[in-house]
Chains A and B, each alone.
Chain A
Amino acid sequence: MKTLKHIFPLLLVILTVILNSCQDAPPNVYIEQNYVESYLIVDEPIRFVKLMKTSPVSDSFKYDNAFIRDARVLIKVDGQTIQLICDAAGSNGYYNPDTTLLVQPSKKYDLEITLKDGTLMTGSTRTPARFNWINSPPDSLYYPKDTLNLTDGTKEKISWEKNPDVKFYYIIRIKSLDTLEYGKYLPTPTEEKNRRIYTFFGGGKNSPDYLESTRWAMVPAPETPIVWTTFKWFGLNEVTIMVADANFMKWSLQYFRTNQYNTLLGNINNGIGSFGSASQISKRTFLYKNQP
């Protein structure tokens, strides 16, 4: 026992020194990378091809400052090469000035970006086929009275044609247009009595997710009941169903699952990001408040 009494303190001192030396400080090394985020929407012009550089985590992030505006950006389809031009003043990225040239369904599009230093970034996508509503959202909807127990909502369903390009999920996107400023959504309302959506899953009333005017959901079947909690605010809303290609779908998973980039969910060669495509249908509906 006497021997142990001497050994214990010595061991503790040695190990404390050893173990304390094992910790790493949070990293502050900045490695600049080039980032692409681009989605081609069937029957829409080619636009919003965003090319940016990543920023140091130790600096304040400015979205507009991150843009790379001096690259050569080409889209190739059916043997045709389209050179995009840059929205030099804004943050819309690169676009095709010929707005009559619309993205076609079931076509392979290749993206080719050449940076000033000669770096070549590429990606490709195959656009999904068109599809249509079977039962589109009604022109108007009435929200249930009891916002804590939302079981008395309508059993009405919306449905659309099954799309063979969907492997698992359809994306539902609901954007609050709020053109009447009925709820003064943007920026967000806060404490008013007629607040619409705030669940305990939210990240607080100042979080970007709460302030965002668009809500996304994924459903595996080409039909769904109307789910009240997917609407963010009363007034005019646009309901969009999207059929995404695999690139877009993976990027959506990346967007919602984690705040750390996962290379397996991107598809840009020699860079990070995604070049995807989607086919979509939209319908506007007016959501009325139906409570005292």
Chain B
Amino acid sequence: MKNINIVIISMLVFTSIFNCLSAHEISDNSASLSGFIKDSKTGETLIGATISLEGTKLGAFTNKSGYFSVTNIPPGEYKINASFIGYEKLSKKIRFKESQSLRENLQLKPTNVSTHEVQVEAEREVEKREISISKINVPIQQIKKIRIGGESDVFRSLQYLPGILTSSQISSGLFVRGGSPDQNLVLLDGAIVYNPSHLFGFISTFNSDAIKDVELIKGGFPAEYGGRLSAVLNLTQKDGNRNEIEGVGSIGAISSRLSVQGPLFDGSWFVGARRTYLELIKAVIPSDPTSPLPDFAFYDVNVKLTQNIGNDDHISVSGFLSNDGLLLGASGVSLDLTVGNRSFAGNWTHIFNDKFFTTVVLSSSYYQNSFIGDQAGFGFQIDNSINDITGKASCDWFISDALTLKSGLEVTRYNFLYYQNLTGQTDTIIKSGTNNPGALNLDFVDWNYSAYSQLNYNVNDLFSIQAGLRYNNWEISKNVLLDPRLAIRYRFSENLAVKAAWGMFSQNLRLASQPDFAFFDTWLPTDSTIAPSRSMHYILSIETEPLPDIDVNLDVYYKKMNSISELNPNAIASKSLSDIFLTGNTESWGFEIFAQRKFGNFVGWIGYALGYIQSVFPDINGGQPFRPKYDRRHDFKVVAQYQINEKWDLAATFTFQSGQSYTGATSRFLSRLPGQDFGRGKTVPSQRYGLRLPASHQLNLTGSYAFKMFKLDSKVILDIYNVYNHRDIWFRYYDTRSEETKVIDVYLLPIIPTLSLEVKF
């Protein structure tokens, strides 16, 4: 099987390369320009910065390494412009000789206010290289100003984009266009993060001080990404300051943070950490021994080292660690829960020449949860983990200004562990391979081999096309799947471009989890008893600029997902995946409109999404169609950030969504097991998730004031969560404990003001 894989992968890669070469004649006397664009103050490479040659249609974006390449430059003198949000535009004259390959690293000066300048024009020209349909880059400066409950959080910020739904206001899970959070590929420096949440899902594990780039692709993602059905969230950690040591610390309501960064030889380092201090607060609160408060804490740490080796090699090593722990004990019962992620990514980029750029990533990601308990001497333990080791290599070939090829290989070894000891004696070690009632120790491995190739062809100034193919092979299920991807872009006028994308996507990993509770997530590979999950995306997108400085995107989408899974409540003894999961299909469709202003003192966006989601599972809801719990018909969001002056900043977020779906009741009965005196009331459900709670809406305000404290740049931040104190309903249930059936609404948080202090040193 491995030989077949190698043959197919090789064929895929070489066929693409051959096709490129034969299809396009490469000019031999043109010049080229390549290099990195960096922050002049810190030396940090900038992702997504643009470079353009004035008076031509030549230009490029910097990639995830901050690298750009402009080819096919006719000899002559040009004025080059480099720009990026939050930086002053850089202009410079360069003379290119025949066949000259010029390497030029450009440094942009940060500025407090982003100006329109050439950014938009440059973006239009260089976007031909990659058709970024449904892709949103939210500047990290804006993400940091979106604060929920006194915390700035990457996931909570992304929830303010149209089409990104939540299961509730206290959940950081991202439900993208009808897909659930497990269908999103979350990458941190190329390593997968399996459970990116703290506080049972209230906030994500990503410390915004440690992140420099956030890229979200809501659908139709290119062939370089695979293994998930719905969306891609690609995060890049900060490299660190290459010029001087600096740091920032903050004290907030939920957690405190500290990050320090500095130069290291021809490179940099970064260390950032965050942790809660609830246990310190608990220590001063009187405790009732019969009803004690639990101990709860979380922390996360981000580390990154980068180094240049000569002009052509760049290496980075990054690590990420997160942990949540809950300890509870009283009246003979003790519970100890821990959840954690660990990831490591080693990244080597090599520039062979100005047209050929390679990246090799070796990464490992580990997610585990553990539940150890004791009830008056009866101990029990459940441990579960997934550990992947991935090697991937990719090459970017800038064949010409019109033609770019990206190809890559990926090999991943997954190790799944599930340890369950319900025998009452946790000091007894259960041997690997045991699969008895109450005593399980399952340790198994799956391999995934993937290869992809994607070609970007700029047919003419108006029309470009991006075609890709991804090959996937999984060992346990023996599934071999090909995922084709296609995107086109047609520019009707200076202010109007239409894009379309279609693609097939597959997912081998399945998540067994409880909705709204991200503590016991269990990842499992698809086996031969269940069909692989597949999805198909159709997207039509219109981008325009109807008003000066206002970019507007209108996306219409349809997504079909087959063989997706829900936990089977019927499962008592599970021998295969078909016992654990119920499978069915889901369709989602809708449109999103997104108006964004990126430049100036007043930035932000308005988004509206209309979405429909419909699932059909043969064993759920009597086989009749139903909408999932997170289906919300209307979704309206506003983010506004205003910089009054050098000292004062104001920000507001507002969301207004259709209510969450819930299941009603048509009648009730009473169940009594043998020997019982009272029994329990039960309701008979109506249409699954057929009803809606009242609309959900919330306004949050943030004001910050910058000042000097002990000669250090400091900032005090006031956050008001839920300004007008509208308490959303978290969930609704029927209380049947008495003869009267009561409809109980459990409400979410009221207005909460918090004060935070941030100090830079």
Interface residues of A (CB under 8 A from B): 1, 3-4, 8, 11, 15-16, 18-20, 22-24, 26-27, 29-33, 35, 37, 39, 41, 48, 50, 52, 54-58, 60-63, 66, 147-151, 153, 155, 166-169, 173, 175, 186, 197-201, 203, 207-209, 211-214, 216, 219-221, 223-229, 240, 246, 249-255, 257, 259-265, 272, 278
Contact = CB atoms under 8 A, between A and B. Distances in A.
B275 interface: no
Contact of B737 (A208, A221, A254): A208
Contacts of A225: 377-378, 424-425
B438 A186 contact: no
B634 interface: yes
Given A220-B423, A261-B682, A272-B684, A22 B658 contact: yes
A22 B695 contact: yes
B670 A260 contact: no
Given A27-B686, A260-B683, A227 B678 contact: no
Contacts of B668: 54-57, 61
Interface in B651-697: 656-659, 663-686, 691-695, 697
Contacts of A30: 666-667
A148 B695 contact: no
A252 to B, nearest CB: 7
B332 A15 contact: no
B547 interface: yes
A19 B677 contact: no
Nearest to B328: A200
A260 B732 CA distance: 12
Given A15-B608, A57-B741, A151-B377, A260 B331 contact: no
B515 interface: no
Interface in B359-412: 375-378
Given A54-B669, A250-B570, A262-B569, A61 B547 contact: no
A182 to B, nearest CB: 18
Given A219-B438, A224-B378, A229-B331, A259 B422 contact: no
Contacts of A27: 664-666, 686, 691
29 contacts: A22-B695, A24-B693, A27-B666, A31-B684, A33-B666, A41-B674, A55-B667, A56-B667, A57-B683, A61-B681, A61-B739, A150-B376, A150-B377, A151-B376, A167-B437, A168-B573, A200-B292, A208-B737, A211-B677, A220-B438, A221-B422, A224-B378, A227-B375, A228-B376, A252-B673, A259-B681, A259-B736, A264-B619, A278-B674
Contacts of B493: none
Contacts, number: 249
Nearest to B659: A23
B290 interface: yes
B439 interface: yes
B666 A66 contact: no
A19 B438 contact: no
B309 interface: no
A265 B678 CA distance: 21
A256 B436 CA distance: 23
A166 B569 CA distance: 18
B330 A18 contact: no
Given A55-B668, A55-B669, A61-B668, A148 B663 contact: no
B333 interface: yes
B729 to A, nearest CB: 10
Interface core residue of B436, B666, B741 (most chain A CB under 10 Å): B666
B48 to A, nearest CB: 26
Given A219-B438, A220-B437, A149 B695 contact: no
A203 B569 contact: no
Contacts of A229: 331-333, 375-376
Contacts of A8: 606
Interface in B60-119: none
Contacts of A250: 570, 572
A122 B674 CA distance: 21
B444 interface: no
A31 B676 contact: no
A5 to B, nearest CB: 12
Contact of B290 (A55, A200, A278): A200
Nearest to B670: A63
B734 A259 contact: yes
B674 A39 contact: yes
B636 interface: yes
